[in-house]
Amino acid sequence: MPSDDSAARNGAAWTRGTDRAPLPADALRRLRWRARRGLLENDLLVGRFLERHGQALAADDADALSRLLDLPEADLLDLLLGRASLPSSMDGPAVRAMLARLQSA
């Protein structure tokens, strides 16, 4: 059993102790590819998040992140930097939680 420190470094602590199944490797690869953005700032912010927490993502996390990645570049950057609020059509607990995680990464 890994120590708390190694679990935190590997992103396992990020799941908050739930028994959520991790995202399959091929789904994570597709999400990483999709996260490659045209705007360097978005690419760096989302890429860093996936490097740190990708292994701990579950399917519901990937769905919330995918919804954020559907946004235009400038809108996503404004959200990541806290300069804008989520559009009402996307505002829900899962997307809000994912946005908070991205902002703190």
pLDDT in the model for residue 37? 81
How far is it, in rounded angstroms, from Cα 12 to Cα 5?
10
pLDDT in the model for residue 20? 78
How far is it, in rounded angstroms, from Cα 61 to Cα 71?
16
Q: Residue 91: which pLDDT band, with cuts at 50, 70 and 90? A: very high
Question: How is the chain split into domains, by residue range?
Answer: 22-104
pLDDT exceeds cutoff 80 at 88: yes
Answer left, alpha or beta for residue 52, where phi above 0 means left and psi between -120 and 50 means alpha. Answer: alpha
Q: Residue 12: which pLDDT band, with cuts at 50, 70 and 90? A: very low
Q: Read off the pTM.
A: 0.78
Backbone φ, ψ for residue 22 (5° rounding) = -65, 155
Q: Write out pLDDT tens, residues 38-84.
A: 899 999 999 999 999 999 999 999 999 999 999 999 999 999 999 99
pLDDT in the model for residue 10? 37
Fold of domain 22-104: DNA polymerase; domain 1 (1.10.150)
